[in-house]
Chain A
Amino acid sequence: MADQAPILELQNVDKSFGPIDVLSDINLKVHAGEVLCLLGDNGAGKSTLIKTLCGVYTPTRGKILMDGKEVHFTRPRDAQEMGISTVHQFGGTFPLMSIGRSFFVGVEPTKGWGPFKRFDRKTANEISVKAVQDFGITRIDDGDRLVGGLSGGERQSLAIARAVHFGARVLILDEPTAALGVKQASHVLRIVNEAKKRGLAVIFITHQVMHALAVGDHFAVLIRGKLAANFMKGEKSREEITDLMAGGEDMATLEAQIAGEDTELHSPAHVRTSQQD
C-alpha cells in the first residue's frame, strides 16, 4: 500500500476565512481500499475539511494531490469529475422522487429519437435496484418506490451505491451514521466495508468512535483545525481515541473541575462565599 501513490493527499493545507484560521497545516493521505476515519468534535473543522476536499472551498495555502499529481478544484463539479463523491448525512437525495428517477438525476438514460426522446424508466429502475442490491440491501426491489419511504440506512446505502455506480474513487461520507439507530448504522457500516473491498478510498467522518473502530484502517483526529493525531488501526485504544476527540487533557481537567465543584457545593466554604455575595 505504501509504495503506491495515495489516491488523495493533502499537503500542508490551510484554510482561513478572513482573519479566522479554520484549518491549519493539515497533512493527510488516503489510499485505495482504505477507510480513513476523520474524528473530531463539533467545530473542529471537519466540515471545512470535507468542503475543501469536495471542491466547495479552495485551500488558502497548501496542495491537494490526486494520484500524486496536484489538482485544483474550483467547484464541486471538478471534484466529482475526478471521482470524489460526497454523501451527506441524510443521503442528499430527493425524498419525493422514485428510486430509479433520483438515482439518475443529471444522467438520465433515455430512449427514442429527437424530440420524442423519453426517460427510460425501466432501465433506470433496473440499474438502480441492482446497484443497491449488489451492496447487500435486498429489501429494495422496486425502483418505483419513493426515496422518502426508505429507512435512513437504506437511503444512505442508495446514495453510496449511486456514487460507486457513477465511478467514484474517493467516497466522502459525512456523518452517515449520526441519525441512525444501531441496526441501521450497522447496515451502513457493512456498505462502507463493501466499498472498501471494491477498492475505493473512503473518508468516513463521524464522532462515534465505535463506528469508526468497526471499519477504519486509518484514523485522524481534528482539534481546533489542527491534526491532533494521525494513527493506524490498532495503535490506540477506544478510550484513548475518545479522550483525544473530546480534547484530551481538557476533558480530564473538566472532569476534575466538576468533581471539585460538586464537593465545593456541599462544603461550608461554598455556603460562606455565597452569603458574602
Chain B
Amino acid sequence: MDMIANLLRRPAAASILSLLGVLAFYVFIGGVDLGNLMGAASWVNYAARIGIVAIAVGLLMTSGEIDISIGAMIPAGAMTTAIISGYYELPIVFGILGALAVGVLVGLFNGILAVRTTVPTLIITLGTLVAMQGVVLAGSRLLTGAASVPLTAPDWAKQAFGQLMFGGSHQVLIVWWVIITTIAWFVLHHTKYGNWIFAIGGDRESARNAGVPVDRMTIILFVLTSTSASFVGMCHAILFNSAQVSGGMGDIFNIIVSVVVGGVLLTGGFGSVIGIFFGAITFAIVNKGIDFTAIDRNWSNLIIGVMLVIAVLLNENFRQLALRYAPKKKSRTSEASQ
C-alpha cells in the first residue's frame, strides 16, 4: 500500500499508468500479441527519435520555458550533414560537427532572446521554427538545387550513429537515447544543476535572488534542446543515406505530448526524466503499435488525444497527492488503510 502511494506521488506515475493503460487497451481490445509488439523495432526506433529530443525539451519545460523550433531542427540537422558531407563530399566529421553547430547556434539565438526580452518563448521559438524551415528549404535549393540530398557515410560513422543493431531493425539511436536519458536523470535529480532547473521553473525571481545563474542556465537548456534535435536529424541522415527538407510539424507536437504525458508541468517546476522516458515510450507505442492491432490506423490520433487528456488529469491529481504528502502521521496511515 505504502509502495503504491509512494509511486503515485512521483511525477512519472501518470506516464507509467498511461503506458499500462495503452498496453491493456491494445491487448484486450486490439487483440495484440504482446510478445510480438515487444519484439518489434518500429516503435522503439520512433521512441528513440522523439525520446532524445523529449528529454531536452522536458528539462527546458521544467525550467518553465518551451521550444517548438525543434520541429525545424531535426530536418535542419539532417540537411546540414547531407549537404556538407554528401553534396560537398567533405569528411563526415564536418557534417556531424556542422549539424551540431547549427543546433548550438539556433539554441543560442533562442536562449539569448529568451533572457534578453520579455517575449514568451513560445513566440520566439515559433519565429525560429518558421525561419529555420525557410533557411533549410531555400538553403538546400540554393546550394544543391534539390530538396533531397544523398549521403554516404563511412563505416565508423554508420556504426556510431546510424547502424541497425542485433542484425535486425533496431537503430543505434536507441543506445544514444538510453545514454542521454541516464545522464539527464543524473543531472536533473542528483546534481545542483537539476535543483537550479526546478528552482527556475518554480519561481524565476526567487531563484535569481538565491544566486542561481538563471540566464546562463536558460541559454544552456535552449542550446541542449535544439542541439539534441539536430543530433537526431544528423543520425537519421547517416542511417538513411539521405536527407529531405520537411516541416517537422508533427514532431513538435509528438515530442511535447510525450513530455506532458511524462508528467512535466507545462508551467515548470515539476517533472522527472523517468517520466519523460516513459512518456516517449507510451507515445511511440500508441502511434506505431497500432499497426499490430486490429484497430484501423486512422484511430491512433483519437487514442493519443484521449490518452493525453487522461494523463494530464492523472498528473494533476498525483501532484495534489504529492503536495498533501505528510508522513508519520496517525491520521495519514488510517486514511491509507481505508
Instruction: Knowing A145-B325, A146-B325, A148-B323 are in contact, say whether A80-B198 is a contact too (CB < 8 A).
Output: no
A173 vs chain B, min Cβ distance (A): 15
In the complex, how many angstroms separate the beta carbon of A160 from the nearest chain B beta carbon?
A: 15
Cβ-neighbour of A118 out of B190, B203, B265, B327 (below 8 A): B190
Contact call B325/A149, Cβ cutoff below 8 A = yes
A93 within 8 A of B: yes
CA distance A105 to B194 in the complex (A): 10
Please encode chain A, from 108 to 131, with 1 for each CB lying within 8 Å of some chain B CB and 0 for all others.
101000000111000000000000
Contact: A94 with B206, CB < 8 Å?
yes
- Shortest B260–chain A CB gap in Å is 16
Q: Across the A-B interface, how many residue pairs have beta carbons closer than 8 Å?
A: 84
A95 touches B (CB below 8 Å):
yes
A6 within 8 A of B: no
Assembly CA distance A107 to B198 (angstroms): 14
Chain A binding surface, main DSSP class:
loop
Q: Check A97–B199 contact: CB distance below 8 A.
A: yes
Asked if A105 and B324 make an inter-chain contact with CB atoms under 8 angstroms apart, the answer reads no
- Asked whether A119 and B198 contact (CB < 8 A) given A77-B211, A105-B207, A142-B327, the answer is no
A87-115 CB mask vs B (1 if < 8 Å, else 0) is 00000111111000110111110100000
- Complex contact A96–B190 (CB within 8 A): no
CA distance A110 to B194 in the complex (A): 12
CB distance from B194 to the nearest CB of A (A): 7
* Interface pair A97/B269, CB less than 8 Å apart: yes
**Chain B residues whose C-beta falls within 8 Å of the C-beta of A105 in the assembled complex:** 195-196, 199, 206-207, 210, 212
By beta carbon, the residue of chain B nearest A101 is B195
Cα of A77 to Cα of B212 in the assembled complex, Å: 11
List which B300-336 residues lie within 8 A (CB) of chain A: 319, 322-328
A217 touches B (CB below 8 Å): no
- Per the 8 Å Cβ criterion, residues 159-218 of B in contact with A are 190-192, 194-196, 198-199, 202-203, 206-207, 209-212
- 22 A-B residue pairs with CB within 8 Å: A76-B209, A77-B211, A80-B209, A92-B206, A94-B203, A96-B202, A96-B269, A96-B270, A96-B322, A97-B198, A102-B199, A104-B195, A105-B195, A105-B199, A105-B210, A106-B196, A106-B212, A110-B192, A117-B192, A118-B190, A119-B192, A149-B324
Which of B's residues lie within 8 Å of A, judged by CB? Answer: 190-192, 194-196, 198-199, 202-203, 206-207, 209-212, 265, 269-270, 319, 322-328
Beyond the given pairs A77-B209, A94-B199, A108-B192, 12 more chain A to chain B contacts, judged by CB atoms under 8 angstroms and listed by A's residue number, are: A92-B209, A93-B202, A93-B203, A101-B195, A102-B202, A105-B199, A110-B192, A119-B192, A145-B325, A149-B322, A149-B323, A149-B325
Of all A-B residue pairs in the complex, the 9 with the closest CB atoms, nearest first, are: A94-B202, A106-B211, A106-B210, A108-B192, A96-B270, A149-B323, A105-B199, A105-B210, A96-B269
